[in-house]
Amino acid sequence: MAHNAMPASEARQDLYEHDYYSWTLEQSRALRERRAGALDWERLAEEVEDLGKSEARSLKSQLARLQAHLLKWRLQAARRARSRRTANSWRASVEGARQEIRDLLDESPGLKSRLPEILPKAFTAAVSLVRQETGLDRSVFPPRCPWTFEQIMDESFWPEA
């Protein structure tokens, strides 16, 4: 080793901290070439774990989006009745969220076991979102999600006031 060269583990750490993108390319190349000594094992394990957490956050976000639009659908029936465009926009958003959720669960079926934990958290986020958008008081909303996962995913389900 040259006198000025830093050990490989320090070089990987420096690259991870200063150029994450290049670090990912280097690590994927080392994995493909099965160069175990070039792998940053601890950080790779953390990154893989974070990928799973990211998928769960995506699911929660889409469930919150879906529930927010279903809440608005239910709570603002009069506004929806006055504006066909508003109703169509909400309908499109609900259908889009349902499709995103189906896609996420098709790609990562292991997330289905997390639904009992994620659905209530997504409902809390949905209520917060709808309150911000509408100015409605918290007391207008149910204390917990009034619908099952199966209901909100059912294409024929449209909650009425």
Q: Which residue has the higher pLDDT, 121 or 4?
A: 121
**pLDDT of 161 higher than 60:** no
pLDDT at 1: 47
pLDDT at 79: 63
Minimum mean pLDDT range among 61-65, 68-72, 73-77:
73-77
- Work out the average pLDDT over 81-88: 70
**Average pLDDT in the chain:** 89
Q: Which residue has the higher pLDDT, 135 or 4?
A: 135
- Work out the average pLDDT over 147-160: 95
Distance CA 65, CA 122 (A): 8
Diameter of the chain measured on Cα atoms: 77
Minimum mean pLDDT range among 32-46, 60-74, 78-92, 128-142:
78-92
Please, are residues 79 and 134 in contact by the beta-carbon 8 Å criterion? no
Distance CA 78, CA 154 (A): 23
pLDDT at 10: 66
Q: Which residue has the higher pLDDT, 148 or 87?
A: 148
Q: How confident is the model at residue 156 (pLDDT cuts 50, 70, 90)?
A: very high
Read off the tokens for 50. 């974070």
Candidates 127, 154, 129; CA nearest to 139 is 127
Q: Which residue has the higher pLDDT, 129 or 7?
A: 129
Q: Which residues contact 71 (CB under 8 A, 6 or more apart)?
A: 126, 127, 130, 141
Please, are residues 135 and 72 in contact by the beta-carbon 8 Å criterion? no
**pLDDT of 9 higher than 70:** no
Read off the tokens for 96. 């889009």
